[in-house]
């Protein structure tokens, strides 16, 4: 059974934290799906991953393009045909309990300066932990990532 980690972003922007987590996920041998709510954000993340080779290339593609099922990292607003081990929700994208259960790990990244994003993340926490899933809440408020809360699941 998978677990879900919530990352409360207050210092580093989404693209910086996402890149670190994607690198670690690939290092663990995982295939990853990054799910957003808008094509605009998915396009921005795609650009960031392609245009910043000084940070190291992260092999990825977008859903709906050629070879989507073969991508180690797939950026999507819906289903993930790349058979991911890890699902990353950004922009408040929906993540269902059965998806978390099917993954090695799921992650929810949310902007700590956006009240709507905070409310959505709280609802996701409540929904997923109420379904009996293990969850951990991480904050970078102190300047380094620290686990602030944990729900053991079922």
Q: pLDDT of 79-107, one tens digit each? A: 999 999 999 999 999 999 999 999 999 99
- Work out the percent of the chain whose per-residue pLDDT is above 90: 86
List the chain domain ranges. Answer: 3-151
Say what the pLDDT of residue 52 is: 61
pLDDT in tens, 68-78: 999 999 999 99
DSSP strand pairing (105-111 vs 86-89): parallel
Spatial separation of the C-alpha atoms in residues 17 and 7, rounded to whole Å: 9
Spatial separation of the C-alpha atoms in residues 93 and 32, rounded to whole Å: 15
Whole-prediction pTM value? 0.94
Domain 3-151 in CATH: superfamily?
DNA polymerase III subunit chi (3.40.50.10110)
SS3 state at 11: coil
Say what the pLDDT of residue 29 is: 97
Which pLDDT band, with edges at 50, 70 and 90, does 13 fall under?
A: very high
Say what the pLDDT of residue 91 is: 97
77 neighbors 95 (Cβ within 8 angstroms): no
């Amino acid at each position: 059974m998978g677990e879900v980690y919530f990352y409360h972003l207050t210092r580093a922007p989404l693209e910086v934290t996402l890149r670190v987590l994607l690198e670690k996920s690939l290092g663990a041998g995982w295939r990853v799906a990054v799910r957003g709510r808008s094509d605009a954000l998915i396009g921005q993340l795609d650009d960031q991953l392609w245009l910043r080779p000084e940070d190291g290339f992260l092999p990825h593609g977008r859903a709906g393009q050629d070879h989507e099922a073969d991508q180690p990292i797939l950026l999507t607003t819906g289903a993930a045909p790349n058979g991911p081990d890890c699902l990353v929700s950004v922009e408040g994208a929906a993540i269902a309990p059965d998806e978390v259960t099917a993954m090695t790990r799921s992650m929810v990244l949310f902007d700590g300066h956006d009240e709507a994003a905070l409310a959505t993340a709280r609802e996701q926490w409540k929904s997923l932990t109420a379904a009996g899933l293990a969850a951990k809440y991480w904050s970078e408020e102190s300047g380094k990532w620290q686990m602030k809360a944990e729900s053991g699941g079922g």
